[in-house]
Amino acid sequence: MYLRLSMNIALEFFQYLLKAKGRHGTHSPYVYDFVDVCLRLPIPSDIKNGFKNYFHRLHTNRSSIEVMDYGAGSKKMGKRRRVSKMARVSGSNGKYGELLFRITQHYKPAKVLELGTSLGLGSWMLSRGNTNAAVTTVEGCPNTYNFVKNELSSLSNIKCVNASFVHFLESNHTHYDVVYIDGDHRGSSVIEMLELLEPILKDETIIIIDDIRWSEDMLNHWKQIVAMDRYHLTMDLFRMGIVVKRTHQQKEHFIVKY
């Protein structure tokens, strides 16, 4: 179970389960397709094995990285972090990593942006879901960037960038089809990133926000995002939140069982 809430996680998860709906609990064709097709896509054995090998390589790496945190930082680790431990606590391992793969496989985005590379587990899944996609992943820490750039070098459709998220977004004019925000666990920073992303979002751009229940602050800001008129479709998958601009539809919010 996801253990990053400062409030009572068991109660929060119980409330989520009570409200979460599957494919038969939604009347939205878009969400029905997301739940019935996207979330049910099988993970090919070569993808499972490739990710398992990549994760094993990181999990057995005993070297350390001096990490410069620009966001809220880690609740479990100091500035000098062993690669193996970083891999162990990564949120892109398990079913939420598979979710990233399923989204890029199902929606076939041409351009994908990841804000927060860390060890590249999310990058790996995003890029393998659609090998024709151009995946740009941004990491603020120079040491982490240097490490992961070498680890991901065999994947030709991933471009690693070392920059702060704000600097990258202020100087970038590329329009993305999928955006994955996973590098700053302060709710106000997530709001700021969404503001900076606004000029380069297209209709139907899918924004995935990780760790929406990492803290009470993150959860409160997630609720603010859900209430924003500019986002016409929002989905709560407990750990991750999904936001889509769809100007042709009325505003809707769904709590999706995953």
Domain ranges of the chain: 9-255
Q: What is the pLDDT of residues 183-222, one digit of tens each?
A: 888 999 999 999 999 999 999 999 999 999 888 899 999 9
Phi-psi region of 34 (alpha: psi -120 to 50; beta: other; left: phi over 0): alpha
CB 241 within 8 A of CB 222: yes
pLDDT tier at 91 (50, 70, 90 boundaries)? Answer: low
pTM, rounded to two decimals: 0.91
Give the model's pLDDT for residue 117. 96
Give the model's pLDDT for residue 22. 78
Instruction: Flag whether pLDDT at 99 surpasses 50.
Output: yes
Higher-pLDDT residue of 64 and 21 is 64
Check: CATH 3.20.20.70 for 9-255?
no
Query: What are the beta bridge partners of residue 128?
Result: none
> Which of 1-15, 23-37, 150-164 is most confident?
150-164
Give the model's pLDDT for residue 6. 46
**Which amino acid appears at position 88 of this protein?**
R
Rounded CA separation 89/177 (Å): 28
Alpha helices in the chain (DSSP H): 9-19, 29-36, 45-59, 83-88, 95-107, 121-129, 142-151, 165-171, 187-197, 216-227
